[in-house]
Structures are given as C-alpha cells and as structure tokens.
Amino acid sequence: MNFHNRKSRSRERPQSAQQQNLDKQILCLHKAMAEKIIANHDFIPQIQQTIEARYESGKMRYGAYLFWSSLLEFIDEPELFLSQLLAESPQTRKYRRQTPFVGVLTEQERQAVLEQLLF
C-alpha cells in the first residue's frame, strides 16, 4: 500500500467568516491573558486547578490536558509560551476555544480587547 497517496482523515474544513471572526477574538483575548499571566504568576495555581478539574470530570480530553499542562511549564520562557499558545494550527485554535484561562481578565479588560478589534 502506498501511504503517500492516502487521503488525510484530519483534513481541515474551511472556516466560515463567523468562525474566523470568533477565532480572531479568541486569539486576541489569549494574547492579553498570556501577557497578564506572564506578568503575574499568581494565576497559575487557578489555571492548573481548572485543567485538573476539567480533565478529571471528563470535560477535557487527554490531548488538551497535555497541551495546557505542558504550556504552563513554559511560563518562564515568555516567547515560547506565547508562540505555542498563539499558534495558528487547527488543533491549537480548538484548544483555545475551551480555555482554562477563565477569570484571568476582568470584564473591563475583556471588553477593551474586543473593542480594539473594531478599530
């Protein structure tokens, strides 16, 4: 069997304009959250608890668990942390949609980030 001619099962579907806009918003929010986490490591225990609770309750799959847990190990390497979190792969976009970074931004900070997208 020739493996090079097999069709990929994980072919990325084209995104609608609405999905693209949502992913852009989520990306910008994650950039703001990451910068805040890098500046203040006090958020890390809360994020780790969220990751563990979601995984143990079955709300997070093992791949996502590994992604988020491993990502936090890079917190002392801001460039690497940001590059991994903000990667534009389909899988990373999917992970960001189920972020454990809840509660990092205040509502006012979140609104400010989203308002910047409008201009």
| pLDDT tens column, 7-41 | 444 456 677 888 889 999 999 999 999 999 999 99
pLDDT at 15: 76
Q: Write the pLDDT tens digit of every residue in 58-92.
A: 999 999 999 999 999 999 999 999 999 999 999 99
Helix %, strand %, coil % of the chain (to 5): 70, 0, 30
| Residue ranges with strand state E in 5-93 | none
pLDDT at 14: 75
